[in-house]
Amino acid sequence: MRLNKRYLYVFILFICIFSVLFIGFLIEKKKMHDDSKDYLQIKFESNDILKISNKLPLSDNLGKNIKYDDSLNGSVGYLDFSIVNKSLKSRKYNITINKHAVDSREINDNYIKVYLTDMDDKPLKGFSDNRVITYNELHFSKKNVENVVLFSDSVEKLSKKNYRLRVWVSDSYGISKLDESIILDVGIEGI
């Protein structure tokens, strides 16, 4: 009887140690699988926020050629940014946009033009020279319903991809004496 108790205690001790190790393994695996945010970073050349006013509605031809200096007066938006992968494997991601509340009257999403290119100003998939999309055409993120997905892509291990985003008010939007604006920030989420 005494020998059976000893085996029972050893068996219980073995189960406890195995359980702790197995739970630790599962937690670590979930961390590695779940959060590519530890590996993916977004880096901006200047600001990460775009504040656009209704002062200067633009045609698509002019909007697609916005330069950084054009954005300094606040009537158009221009961002150069990079997605950096610090992981030892390739990572998929979404570039997202989050719209913030404004003090003034908000510009309607139907008139906010968004245009994403590489650093050589070549439009990326889903963005064309022929037709520029509006903010309201972007779909909501599955991870955070406050964000819309601008673009989905992947980046190879230990590398980066560069992007240029231009945002402006459509020329079909009437100029108003009212102060109207929209504030957007760009982010990233691993998928």
The answer on pLDDT for 7 being more than 90 is: no
For the record, the structure tokens of 172 come out as 């079909």
Over range 80-100, report the average pLDDT: 93
How long, in residues, is the chain?
191
Cα distances from 137 to residues 13, 38, 102, in angstroms, run 59, 30, 21
Is 168 exposed, middle or buried, given 0-12, 13-18 or 19+ CB atoms closer than 10 A?
buried
The answer on pLDDT for 18 being more than 80 is: no
Is 93 exposed, middle or buried, given 0-12, 13-18 or 19+ CB atoms closer than 10 A?
buried
Instruction: List helix spans (H) across 35-167.
Output: 60-63
Under DSSP, is residue 37 helix (H, G, I), strand (E, B) or coil? helix
Instruction: List helix spans (H) across the chain.
Output: 2-34, 60-63
Q: Please tell me what DSSP assigns to residue 63.
A: H
Whose CA is closest to 77, among 41, 104, 107, 40? Answer: 107
Q: What is the pLDDT of residues 96-141, one digit of tens each?
A: 999 988 877 888 899 999 999 999 999 998 888 788 999 999 999 9
Q: SS3 sequence, 76-100?
A: CEEEEEEEEECCCCCEEEEEEEEEE
Contacts of 117 (CB under 8 A, 6+ apart): 123, 124, 127, 163, 164, 166
The answer on pLDDT for 1 being more than 60 is: no
